[in-house]
Structure formats: structure tokens, C-alpha cells
Structure 1
Amino acid sequence: MNSPPFSEPPPSLEPPPASKLSPPAKQVPFSEQQVRDDLVNYARSLFQRGLSSGGAGNISVKLPDGSFLVTPTNSCLGELDSQTLSKLDAEGNHISGDKPSKEVPMHLAMYRARSTCGAVVHLHSPYLTALSCLTNIDHTNCLPPITPYYVMRIGRLPLLSYMKPGDPAIATALADTARDHNAVLLANHGPVVSGSTLKNLKIRHGSIF
């Protein structure tokens, strides 16, 4: 007598033993030194591409405890030392490292206006600084939608009226504008761009600088 078809037992639906499961993804421990190194490398890349010169420009990165690292005053982005970066608490009080950039209030304003902000860069990049000097541009959106990536990552780029570098009034004006924009252009000065992380900031700034 022929065996009935499908006489073999059906495959087991039992889950595989734990020994055969893929191990869970390992949590990468937070390393402040890694953040410092990443900031220094990012700054160096900006300098090497001609987006910063001399002692111009500043970068900050927020740490998990709410404190943040910022480039020191009068520092060259191409020659930073990870050990001498300025460290400040959430209120902007100096904790350690060299004296911080005078633009710290501007960075704080961006962090406070945008709850998801984790990194900020301000540069005197040649093309955008030249654009910021024009008088016949739309202050509500001074750069047209030149690429789809610009539209997706930046959207609109408002222009803030000229204020002296380091003026606390920049922070006040930025606090109002940054709620609805992740990048702004300071007249006769240069761009300020935010990102949720330093990695996100690198991607976003590539659409505008």
C-alpha cells in the first residue's frame, strides 16, 4: 500500500532555541571623548574645504546630561585640540577647557528654541556670507529652492538684520526665528545651522554651504 501524500510531519512552528537566535544589538556606551574627536574632525573638514578661515566660525554639540561642548574663542577650526574644547553647563556657565566663543548665547538660543537640536554650526562661508551682504533679497527666504535636498533639509532661509558679532541681540532675534527654521542667515556675517546630532548637522549643512 502506498504511503499517503504528505506523510512527513509538518515543520515545527516552535520558536528556535535561544542558542540559535541572533544576539541582541549591543548598546554602544556614551563616550564624551568620541564626541570631542568627532567635533574636531568635523571642524577640520570645514576648514580644509575653505568654509572657515583664520579664527572664524564656531561649533557646539550637546551632551546627554544637557551640558555642551563648544569651540573656544579665537580658535582656528583647522587646529582644534579635543582636550581644550570649552565645556559649559545647560545655562552656558563655563565648566572646563579654554574660554568659549563669544557666540555662545547664539548657540544657546538655538538649543532652547528647538527642543530636538543637538548640534549647531556658525560659519563665515564665502558664498553665503556674500549672499548675506546683498540688499535686494527677500528677508523671509533669501535663498531660492535650488535643489530638492535643500528644500527637504533646510526649507526656507530667513535673513536676520545685521548685528555686531557677539551681540546678545543676535540670540534674542534667533530665538524667535529658530522656532520655525533650522537654519538662518545673519546679515553681513554668515549662516547658523542646527541638527539633531552632529551627524545630522553634517548632512544638513551640505545642502546649504
Structure 2
Amino acid sequence: MTESDTSLRDRLVDVGVELLAAEGPQALTLREIARRAGVSHGAPRRHFPTHLELLSAIALRGFAGLAERVRQTLDRERGGARDRLAALARTYLDFALEQPGMYELMFRHDLLESGRLGLRETSLPLFSLLTGLVATADPDADAPRVAGALWANLHGLAQLWRWRSLQLATGQDDLAPLLETVLAAHLGPGDGR
């Protein structure tokens, strides 16, 4: 692949990321990305033979961004495993609420199942990190099961908060108490480990 091919590939993904942030996942057509990148509508096919492959490349950027945010958060957090879990959870929720289009794209079942660009493998280290923190916070827990339930709960919390359903149902406009309830439900009150 030549440097110009690499730069066009990167530019198409950059345009897709920008379009996703501005207009949401429904705007991510090959034709619109090509138009905004200033290339013919057939040009993306040289790098992304299918629409799914281009979407996967865009989602891969999202996973990389989330992983970097989590890394930075955990580098700053000096508390025990439960504190680190709480910080990771807040970072995950912040990402989901700040970048809803990317978040939605990243967890699309068809992209994860397609095997394109290793998206499943890209998302698994974050789950492994979550599982390790759960195991440290509660050595007696079935860490993968608790981490899975916690992740599902966080995912649902992000979606329902974004849709404003939780605010309506609970009468709360602060996500922090709900997050603490989620953590307590899965980890117990904790002792700061």
C-alpha cells in the first residue's frame, strides 16, 4: 500500500468519524463519506471492499479512543480495585454520553460478529481489564460473570440515560447515585481494596 493509499484510507476513516459525530450512524454511507473526502463514490471500495469494513474501521477508532481514556483514568486513579472500577465505569459512561454515535456504532452486533478488522479482539482487552478489577475487588466472585453483568448494566444505564428514560422514571438528574447503586449491586459496599 502506497503512502497516498494509506493517507486516503485514513482520510476516509477521519471523515467517517467526523460525520458520525455530527450526524449519527445513519449518515455513514459510502457515497457521503466519499463526497466529503473529495473522492469519487467508488474510491472507498479500493480500501474498504464493503460498507461493513469501512464502518468497522471507524468503530476501531472508537475502541482505541475509549481504551486510551480508560488507560488515562486508571493511571490517575490511586485507590483500590473498587475505586478503579468506579473510575472505569464513569469513564465508560462519559464516553457513551459524549459520543453517542460512536458508542452505538462500536457495539453494533453485525460489526462485532463480522470479524472485520478484529473488532471483537479490540473490545476484549477492556473486558479483561474489567474482569481483573472485579477479581481484585472481590476474590470470591465469579469475576467473568460479575464483570459481564456489570458491563451489561453500564451499557443499559448509558442507553437509558441518553434516552432520558431513567431521569423520567427515577426523577433524578444526577447519574452518580445510580452508578453507585449499580456498583453496589454487583460488588457490594466494598472495603476499598
TM range (shorter): under 0.3
Structure 1 or 2: more strand by fraction: 1
Structure 1 or 2: more helix by fraction: 2
Which one has the largest radius of gyration?
1
TM-score relative to the length of structure 2: 0.23
Q: Whose RCO is larger (CA < 8 A, sep 6+)?
A: 2
